Amino acid sequence: MKKLVNEPKAFVAEMLEGIALANEKTLKYVPEYNLIMRADAPNTNKVSVLQGSGSGHEPAHVLLVGKGMLDGACPGDVFAAPPVDYVLESTKLLASPKGVLHIVNNYTGDRMAFDMARELAEAEGLKVATLMVDDDVAVKDSTHTVGRRGVAGNFFVIKAVGAAAEQGRKLEELVELGQRVNGVTRTMGIALTSCTPPAKGSPLFELGDGEMEVGVGIHGEPGRKRKAVEPANAIADELLDAVVEDLPFKKGDKVALMVNGLGGTPIAELYVVYGHAHTRLTQAGIKVERSYVGEYCTSLDMAGCSITLVRLDDELTSLLDAPGEMGMRIL
């Protein structure tokens, strides 16, 4: 295993500590609950927005905390749902009279943890609502899921809901908005390689030298099929076709197009995929209004990418364009 790690069991805690140190003025780290929260949270004039999920998908979700985005994220260990008490205590630390919104990617473990934490928080008098994300079109059910999985499209739900929360919208309105964003967001991914969790020290699944996994999950779960590696354009076509046909996206639609790297793929390659996908959409009469290329939801060091499309309307475009901050910056 060739990784920048110390004791594998300390990996998540050390990453969170590093994130907090790189954002000393804006983020706060509560080690007891793996919680990264805005330093100025909770803001009692707005709904607090919290996400959990496993670690290993960075920047999702701990690096998406900031003004106009998440108020907090309390991940579990690598690829493991957060324990119920992490979610409960994080919810209490973020409690606002306007309520706390849980954004949950659809995985069985995460749903259970968030459902239980919500019940316990409500029993203590807190106002909590849940918003489910399930944008992955690859498979109907999977090894970790009943129903579709929540993957990179999660970013758009957070961005839109985070901006709307900042505007002071009510909890019920945010749930409705988030469901609407999730409803027009579709993703599919492909793995060129497996990934290696630090504590395991070896690849999570086997993938032959000449093979790729089409429709892979972000924990290496099987997708639709395994086949011989193809050129970038053929891969982009296969992902795009699956995504476009699912909603379906139609001629005249305006969209946001995301090409998300899974962790081990250089951004240069992502732009090759992006260029072909953008051109294909334009040829189909679908207008790419906003572009997102880079790492948004990764699977440790997995090589590969996913394509996400979001059907835009004026309100959604304006929420995506609203000011936002997150723990990971370039400039």
- How far apart CA 117 and CA 102 sit, in angstroms, is 10
Residue 148: CA count within 13 A, CB half-sphere = 20
Asked whether position 227 contacts a copy of itself by CB under 8 A, the answer is no
The verdict on 167 binding a copy of itself (CB under 8 A) reads no
The verdict on 51 binding a copy of itself (CB under 8 A) reads no
- If binding is defined by CB under 8 A, does position 233 make contact with a copy of itself? yes
Catalytic residue among 102, 144, 219, 278: 219
Number of CB atoms found within 10 A of residue 110's CB = 25
CB of 65 to a copy of itself, least distance (A): 13
Nearer to a copy of itself, 72 or 264 (CB): 264
Query: Considering beta carbons, is residue 20 or 121 the nearer one to a copy of itself?
Result: 20
Residues 308-327 that bind a copy of itself (CB under 8 A): 324-326
Q: How near is the Cβ of 110 to a copy of itself at its closest, in Å?
A: 18
Residue (143 or 279) nearer to a copy of itself, CB: 279
Question: How many residues touch a copy of itself (CB under 8 A)?
Answer: 67
DSSP state of 81: P
State yes or no: is 219 an active-site residue: yes
Q: Which residues contact 200 (CB under 8 A, 6 or more apart)?
A: none
d(CA 294, CA 5): 23
* Structure tokens that stand for 175 in this block: 């749930």
Query: C-alpha dihedral over 256, 55, 113, 182, to 10 degrees?
Result: 0
Cβ 258 to a copy of itself, closest distance in Å?
Answer: 10
- Considering the complex, what minimum distance in angstroms separates the CB of residue 293 from a copy of itself? 5
CB nearer a copy of itself, residue 50 or residue 62: 62
- Which one-letter DSSP state was computed for residue 31? G
Strand residue runs (E) in the chain: 27-30, 35-38, 48-51, 72-73, 100-105, 128-133, 185-191, 211-214, 225-228, 254-261, 287-294, 304-311
* Contact positions vs a copy of itself (CB under 8 A): 2-7, 11, 14-19, 21-23, 55-56, 58-59, 63, 159, 192-193, 209, 212, 229, 231-233, 235, 263-276, 278-279, 288, 291-296, 298, 300-301, 303-305, 324-326, 328-331
As annotated, the active-site residues are 57, 219
